[in-house]
Every structure is written in structure tokens, then in C-alpha cells.
């Protein structure tokens, strides 16, 4: 069992804890200020927790069961979760039973209350979910999952009845509180059976899907496609949204599920990209909205991520060939979309917004920021950055890192484009450059290769004819790089490497604003 692999799991657990504390702070802040935009960002960030959690589980079980077949590992993983949820049901029953002892001890006078069908629904849901799991019965999975919604509806009505009784019969308020608690435990039982049924979905599809995601996929895919599909991970799952390749015979498509706002943004951007250069991004095939979540079905794109190519031992000639192709596509997009409109520079805002996450991940960086007067440097940047803006704007990727660019037989494709917008062309360059050095464990050969890659991109910038009119190009590139250096530690585990990047960013910022 690899020590390095175990350490990577520990690093992600640390990261998850840091993000959780920061998320809690943001949630309380959003509530106290009643800031809807902040609350939306907190809700959307929950996808990232799911992604990291599943990544940790994947690696943990892969390390522990390297000798077993995938199907057996999947069963063992799901069995642990099923057992845990059944144990929670047992706890719920125990808590209900304890109310008898508590009522006797407190000598509370009993009252009668009609639970409706809540008890029978809970018991039925237990049997159906376990049977669906053991038999991998998809129809029974759907039936048992819907018990949770059915129980919720009755629970809402019964809670109103109990509250009414509390007001009308205050002499028995203690026992009405007991009834309130019992209603809640019965409602929770169906939450646990829903979890069990979703483990059955995992066994059947091979992919972690909650019932809402399953419903979205079944609506978004044609006919019975989803019932016979195989789910595999896909490139841009790191964005937080659930992303997978679905294989059905010889057909391959990509599905992506996430917050409605994020998916709607990606759909819009994908369509805009197709108008600029058809085929440079995957085509949108279908979408389906359910409450505040949305599923996107899009065209499958083959090939390799640039990160896979760049950080490999492939010959530098191959890496340079891919980079020259990327540089050509990049400048073509700029030329096709350039418009005489000064972009609003947001480097200050982007640094300021992400500093909280940087310090949450690496608290020791706060002292470095204080030592180098980062707050004062940022204040100067805020006052002066508008003076650096070029006289034109171009269409940007918005998250132009090597994990979002696919290379296949001389063709460049872009993925994860939900942040695309018009702006400063050098904003994408700063993101691209930092993504070529972000892994802390690159070999010396790969580091030298990446220097050559960045040089090719720099040469392409000077070849973009509008850049000749951009008097502040050098200064602004330094600001773009400073932004990327300073904010990158929020996704880097290595403390020393994070500090080195952070300090490099501050030095670049000093060169511009001082």
C-alpha cells in the first residue's frame, strides 16, 4: 500500500476540514446579512464536498481491495453504507422507545394522536429498500425511493396538527413534544431507506447517484438508454458537479449534474462557443431541470487532457506540437471575437474573494501577507488596475487551465466552459501558466518542458496583432500571474510549495503597483 497514496487521502481530509470550517463561516455570514448571493454560493459549493468525499472513498477502497474485482469492491463499499443506515434506523426505533421511559420518569399524562400511515410507510420502505438493494431491482428502487417523498408530505401535515394541539391543550405540552419527536424519527427512517435504495442505484449503474440525479438522467436520456448504460468518470468532474461518461453499446455521451445556475451558465456558454468555432466544445444534446438542480447531456469528446500530455514523459516535440495548435486556436478565437470595448478588470476582486479560502487552507500564509503588506498592495491595485485595461475585449475560456483543454490527433477542444465571458485576454494566460507549474512534484525534465510550453504561448501573444496596441501588456500579465499565484494555494496541499507560490505572487504584485 503506497505511503504517498495514503498521504494524499490525509491531505484531502485536511482540505475537506478546512473547507468545511470556511463553509460554515460563510453560511452564518450569509444568514446574518440575509445575502442571497452568498447563500447560493454556499449551497453550490456543497457539490465540491461530495466530489472530494467520493474521491477519498474511491482511493481508500482501491488501496484496500486491490486484489478484488470492481463489482465485488462496489458491493463491499455499498454494504458498509447500507449497514450504517440500517443501524441508524435501529437507533431511531430505540429513541422512540426511550420516550416511554422518559414519560414514565416525568409522570407525563399520555395523550392519543393519529400517526396516519407514517408507521406503515416507514416499515414498507425498509423492506422495499433492502430487497431492491439485494436483488438490484431497478423498478423496486424507484418505488422505494418515492416512499421518502410520500412520508415527507404526511409529516408536514402531522406537524401542523401537533402544533395545533400544543396551543389548544397546553396541559399536555410535554406529551405533545414526545409525539413531535416520534413524527420526526419516522420521517428520518425514510431518509435512511432512501440512502439504502441509492446504494442499489450504485450497484446497478456503477456510479454514485442520488435519486434526484437518477430521475434527471432518466428524463434527459432517450427511451430506456439509462437502464443499460455504463457510467465512467470524465475529465471535468473536478468542477464540483457530478460528471460522467455514459456508454451504451457503441454510443458515448457525457452527463453533468449540478446546480441549476451553474449548468444553465454552461449550456449558454457551450452554445456561444459553437457559434464562434463549431466543434471546439461538446454539443448540447439535452437538458432536464428538477427543482434547483439540472442535468446536461452533451456530446462525448475523446482524446487526452493537456495535463496528461504535459506532465508525462512524452517527447518535448509532441508537447510543443500540441501547444502550437493550442496557440493557433487561442489567437483565432481572440481574432474572431475582438471588439473595441475596454474590459472591466477584476484582478483585485478575484484575489480578495479567494484570500479567505487561501487562509482557511493555509493559515500560516496570513502572516506572510501581513509581513509583505498584501492588504496595502491590493488597495493600490484596486485604485489603479482600471488604468491598465486594453482598448479591446475578447471571448475568454474563463478557467483556462490544462485540465480543461483536450488534445486529440491535432485537434483542440475546450471543456468546463461555464465561466466563459468577454474580458482581458491576459486573464486566461495567467490561469494557463499557473496550471503548468501547480503540481509540486513535477520532475526537472517536465519543468523544463513547461518553460518551453509557456514560451510558445508568449510568442503567440506577441503575434496577436491587437496586442501591439496594448501598451500595458507586460504590467497586466504580471497582475494576471500575481492573481493566479496568490489564489492557487487554496487548492494546494503542500504547505511549503503553497507559501512559495504565494510569495511569488506578492512579489509580482509589488513590481506592478509600487
Q: 294-341 pLDDT, tens per residue?
A: 888 888 888 899 999 999 999 999 999 999 999 999 999 999 999 999
Tell how strand 242-248 and strand 251-259 pair up.
Answer: antiparallel
Number of domains comprising the chain? 3
Residues 38 and 62 placed together within one structural domain of the fold: yes
Among 274, 299, 324, the domain-final residue is 299
In terms of Cα–Cα distance, which of 320, 288, 317, 282 is closest to 302? 282
How would residue 1 be classed by pLDDT, with cut points 50, 70 and 90?
Answer: very low
Same domain, 203 and 190: yes
Q: What is the CATH number of the domain that holds 449?
A: 3.90.1200.10
Pick from 124, 132, 152: nearest CA to 198:
132
Nearest to 186 by CA among 159, 212, 160: 159
Q: What is the band of 458 on the pLDDT scale with cuts at 50, 70, 90?
A: very high
Q: What percent of the chain stands above pLDDT 70?
A: 83
What CATH number has the domain bearing residue 18? 1.20.58.220
Whether the predicted pLDDT of 174 surpasses 90: no
Whether pLDDT at 158 is above 50: yes
Whether pLDDT at 168 is above 70: yes
Of 152-161, 282-291, 412-421, 426-435, which one has max mean pLDDT?
A: 426-435
With contact defined as beta carbons under 8 Å apart, do 215 and 198 qualify? no
pLDDT tens readout for residues 95-125: 777 777 777 777 777 788 888 888 889 989 9
Cα 370-371-377 angle, rounded to 5 deg: 65
- Grid cell 494555494 in the structure block, residue: 489
* Range with the poorest average pLDDT among 221-225, 299-303, 367-371, 404-408: 221-225
- Range with the poorest average pLDDT among 62-66, 342-346, 367-371: 62-66
pLDDT score of 50 = 64
Full domain range(s) for residue 258: 214-299
In this predicted structure, the answer to whether residue 73 has a pLDDT above a threshold of 80 is no
Residue 393 pLDDT class (50, 70, 90 cuts): very high
Write out the DSSP string of 275-312.
Answer: HHSTTSSPPEEEEEEETTEEEEEEE---SEEHHHHHTS
Q: Is the overall model pTM greater than 0.75, yes or no?
A: no
Q: Are residues 117 and 180 in the same domain?
A: yes
Write out the three cell numbers for 193.
431507506
pLDDT-based confidence at residue 40 (cuts at 50, 70, 90): confident
Among the candidates 299, 324, 340, a domain finishes at 299
What does the pLDDT read at residue 250? 66
In this structure, the answer to whether residues 224 and 347 fall within a common structural domain is no
What pLDDT, on a 0 to 100 scale, did the predictor assign at position 406?
95
Specify the DSSP class assigned to residue 399.
S
Q: Using the predicted structure, report yes or no on whether residue 275 has a pLDDT greater than 90.
A: yes
Among 257, 275, 299, the domain boundary falls at 299
Strands in 389-442 per DSSP E: 394-396, 405-408, 411-414, 421-423
| CA distances to 186, 247, 345, 375 from 381, in Å | 57, 49, 10, 10
pLDDT beyond 70 at 248: no
Distance, in Å, from the CA atom of 148 to the CA atom of 187, rounded to the nearest integer, reads: 8
Q: Which residues pair with 406 in a beta bridge?
A: 305, 413
Looking at the structure, do residues 431 and 351 belong to the same domain, yes or no?
A: yes
Other C-beta atoms within 10 Å of 461: how many?
18
User: Average pLDDT in the 494-503 region?
Assistant: 94
Question: Quick one: 179 and 66 in the same domain?
Answer: yes
Beta bridge partners of 405: 414
Q: In the numeric block, which cell numbers belong to residue 280?
A: 471546439
Q: pLDDT tens across 473-487, in order?
A: 999 999 999 999 999
Q: Which of the two residues, 279 and 249, has the higher pLDDT score?
A: 279
pLDDT for 428 equals 97
Per-residue pLDDT, 13: 62
Distances (CA, A) of 271 to 264, 280, 284, 420: 11, 11, 7, 11
Q: Is 449 helix (H, G, I), strand (E, B) or coil?
A: helix
pLDDT at 34 over 70: no
Per-residue model confidence as pLDDT tens digits over 353-362: 999 889 988 9
Give me the percent of the chain exceeding a pLDDT of 90: 45
Between 57 and 415, the more confident residue is 415
pLDDT of 439: 87
Average pLDDT for 83-90: 82
Residues 276 and 358 in one domain: no
As a whole number, the mean pLDDT across the chain is 85
pLDDT at position 424: 96
Confidence of residue 91 (pLDDT cuts 50, 70, 90): confident
> What cell numbers appear for 228 in the block?
443499460
Mark whether 155 and 237 lie in a shared domain. Answer: no
Judge contact between 295 and 288, C-beta under 8 A. yes
Is the domain of 44 the same as that of 150?
yes
Residues 402 and 275 placed together within one structural domain of the fold? no
Q: Does residue 197 sit in the same domain as residue 252?
A: no
Question: Which CATH number goes with the domain that contains 283?
Answer: 3.30.200.20
Averaged pLDDT for residues 208-229: 70
Q: Which of these ranges, 14-18, 250-254, 309-313, 387-391, has the smallest mean pLDDT?
A: 14-18
Return the C-alpha cell found at 177. 413534544
CA angle, corner 393, sides to 461 and 278, nearest 5? 80
Q: Are residues 247 and 361 in the same domain?
A: no
Amino acid at each position: 500500500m503506497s505511503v504517498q497514496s495514503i498521504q494524499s487521502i490525509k491531505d484531502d481530509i485536511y482540505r475537506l476540514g478546512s473547507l468545511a470550517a470556511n463553509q460554515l463561516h460563510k453560511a452564518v455570514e450569509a444568514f446574518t446579512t440575509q445575502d442571497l448571493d452568498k447563500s447560493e454560493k454556499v449551497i453550490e459549493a456543497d457539490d465540491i464536498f461530495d466530489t472530494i468525499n467520493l474521491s477519498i472513498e474511491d482511493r481508500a477502497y482501491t488501496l484496500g481491495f486491490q486484489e478484488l474485482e470492481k463489482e465485488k469492491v462496489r458491493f463491499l463499499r455499498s454494504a458498509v453504507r447500507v449497514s450504517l443506515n440500517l443501524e441508524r434506523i435501529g437507533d431511531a426505533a430505540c429513541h422512540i422507545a426511550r420516550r416511554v421511559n422518559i414519560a414514565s420518569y416525568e409522570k407525563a399524562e399520555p395523550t392519543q394522536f393519529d400517526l396516519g400511515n407514517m408507521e406503515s410507510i416507514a416499515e414498507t420502505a425498509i423492506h422495499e429498500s433492502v430487497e431492491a438493494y439485494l436483488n438490484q431491482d431497478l423498478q423496486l428502487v424507484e418505488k422505494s425511493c418515492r416512499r421518502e417523498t410520500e412520508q415527507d408530505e404526511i409529516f408536514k401535515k402531522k406537524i401542523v396538527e401537533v402544533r395545533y394541539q400544543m396551543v389548544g391543550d397546553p396541559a399536555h405540552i410535554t406529551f405533545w413534544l414526545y409525539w413531535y419527536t416520534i413524527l420526526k424519527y419516522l420521517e428520518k427512517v425514510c431518509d435512511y431507506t432512501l440512502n439504502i435504495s441509492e446504494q442499489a442505484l450504485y450497484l446497478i449503474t456503477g456510479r454514485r447517484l442520488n435519486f434526484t440525479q437518477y430521475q434527471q438522467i432518466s428524463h434527459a436520456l432517450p427511451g430506456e438508454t439509462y437502464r443499460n448504460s455504463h457510467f465512467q468518470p470524465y475529465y471535468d468532474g473536478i468542477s464540483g458537479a457530478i460528471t460522467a461518461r455514459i456508454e451504451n453499446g457503441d454510443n458515448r455521451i457525457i452527463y453533468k449534474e449540478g446546480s441549476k445556475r451553474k449548468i444553465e451558465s454552461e449550456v449558454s456558454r457551450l452554445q456561444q462557443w459553437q457559434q464562434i468555432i463549431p466543434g471546439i466544445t461538446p454539443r448540447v444534446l439535452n437538458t432536464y431541470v428538477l427543482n434547483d438542480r439540472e442535468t446536461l447531456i452533451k456530446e462525448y469528446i475523446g482524446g487526452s487532457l493537456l495535463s496528461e500530455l504535459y506532465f508525462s514523459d512524452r517527447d518535448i516535440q509532441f508537447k510543443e506540437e500540441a501547444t502550437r495548435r493550442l496557440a493557433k486556436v487561442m489567437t483565432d478565437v481572440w481574432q474572431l471575437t475582438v471588439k473595441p470595448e475596454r474590459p472591466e478588470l477584476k484582478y483585485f476582486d478575484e484575489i480578495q474573494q479567494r484570500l479567505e479560502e487561501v487562509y482557511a487552507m493555509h493559515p500560516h500564509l496570513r502572516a506572510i501577507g501581513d509581513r509583505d503588506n498584501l492588504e496595502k498592495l491590493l488597495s493600490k491595485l484596486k485604485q489603479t488596475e482600471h488604468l491598465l485595461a486594453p482598448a479591446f475585449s475578447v471571448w475568454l475560456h474563463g478557467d483556462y487551465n490544462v485540465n480543461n483543454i483536450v488534445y486529440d490527433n491535432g485537434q483542440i477542444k475546450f471543456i468546463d466552459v461555464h465561466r466563459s465571458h468577454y474580458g482581458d485576454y491576459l486573464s486566461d494566460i495567467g490561469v494557463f501558466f499557473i496550471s503548468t507549474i501547480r503540481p509540486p512534484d513535477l520532475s526537472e525534465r517536465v519543468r523544463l518542458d513547461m518553460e518551453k510550453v509557456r514560451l510558445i504561448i508568449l510568442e503567440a501573444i506577441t503575434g496577436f496583432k491587437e496586442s501591439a496596441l496594448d501598451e500595458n501588456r507586460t504590467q497586466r500579465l504580471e497582475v494576471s500571474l500575481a492573481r493566479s499565484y496568490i489564489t492557487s494555494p487554496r487548492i494546494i496541499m503542500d504547505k511549503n510549495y503553497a507559501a512559495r507560490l504565494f510569495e511569488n505572487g506578492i512579489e509580482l504584485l509589488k513590481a506592478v503597483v509600487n
